[in-house]
Structure 1
Amino acid sequence: MSQVLITGATGLVGSHLLRLLLNEPTIGAIAAPTRRPLPAVEGIFNPHDPQLSDALAQVVEPVDIVFCCLGTTRREAGSKEAFIHADYTLVVDTALTGRRLGAQHMLVVSAMGANSRSPFFYNRVKGEMEEALIAQKWPRLTLARPSMLLGDRVKQRVNETILAPLFRLLPGNWKSIEARDVARAMLAEALRPEREGVTVLTSSQLRKRARHE
């Protein structure tokens, strides 16, 4: 039975993934630190604090697998600094917590176009986050790079609402992807026979993995 740590469990991908984890018989216990409390559910340890790092510090039991589904936009975050804190600092904090607790595999939602040398701020921060995780030398590290995510958000993002119809028609990795499919693909990857090193899952690969689950 695997013990799991997940951050971002209240978000679009993370909420789907949390439900999948609860229904997966090979998952023993779930630690899901959040900023705001989750509904009480048996099998979930939910330390919560407006400062997510403080909630993470309350997780002390060993874990095997770490999922990080944190993600926002510069507009939602309110500033470049706040975006970096959410999409870089807290992701790295999640990883460090997992390493401290003995995890061997980390899976993280990144983004299509992640590149530390990108001229675009969003893609550059995502790329820097990926590089920081790679530098931690995880036995297994999975970087999921979805295109535009589809699904019911609590708060709709204006740009995504406007562009969603277009992205549904685009080919290959550009085609938008359902958040639940990203969650399915991540869980499937976590349960695959162990492979060492870094795995990058493109949006097309995520969609394909989800279809076969």
Structure 2
Amino acid sequence: MFCCLGTTRREAGSKEAFIHADYTLVVDTALTGRRLGAQHMLVVSAMGANAHSPFFYNRVKGEMEEALIAQNWPKLTIARPSMLLGDRSKRRMNETLFAPLFRLLPGNWKSIDARDVARVMLAEAMRPEHEGVTILSSSELRKRAE
């Protein structure tokens, strides 16, 4: 089961709406899939996700990850990309401004194309040999996409 839901606080319009999109919808969708017999959950989170982060965005992403882990999936794959590149129906000002910079950054900070994240997640879904929780950092996603 794949879940790639996510937004920004600005696009959501409020903290509450952001939590609904990036936490509640993701966790509830996963729970429904689990109840229906899904065995592998693959989710896009974010670099820096941490339930104890002082940064709201990273904290919500970390709380979402912890809630999914608590659902006891036989296989749970969490992708933590840096800034995602790709076509969007609506331009995001910060992404437009910072995308050129993020392409130049080293390691985990370097931006990644959303299509590459999708390819890696699909390949991960086809791998039968792993169980438990797998966390794919942005640099690991980029490496596997090559």
TM-score, normalization: structure 1? 0.68
Letter in 2 for 1:187: L
Stretches of 4+ aligned residues off by more than 2 angstroms: none
The equivalent of 1:194 in structure 2 is: 129
Gaps of 5+ in 2: none
Gaps of 5+ in 1: 1-65
Output one character per residue of 1:18-53: Cα deviation in whole Å (capped at 9) or x when no partner: xxxxxxxxxxxxxxxxxxxxxxxxxxxxxxxxxxxx
The equivalent of 1:153 in structure 2 is: 88
Letter in 2 for 1:201: L
The structure that is helix-richer by fraction is 2
Instruction: Give the drift of 1:199.
Output: 0.2
CA distance in 1 between counterparts of 2:122 and 2:143 reads 13
Output one character per residue of 1:120-158: Cα deviation in whole Å (capped at 9) or x when no partner: 000000000000000011000000000000011000110
Bigger relative contact order, structure 1 or 2 (CA pairs below 8 A, ≥6 apart):
2
Aligned length: 146
CA distance in 2 between counterparts of 1:143 and 1:155 reads 25
Of all paired residues, the percent bearing the same amino acid is 87
Output one character per residue of 1:44-94: Cα deviation in whole Å (capped at 9) or x when no partner: xxxxxxxxxxxxxxxxxxxxxx10000000000000000000000000011
**Which one of the candidate residues 70, 82, 89 is aligned to 2:5?**
70
TM-score, normalization: structure 2? 0.98
**Partner-residue secondary structure (3-state), 2:54:** coil
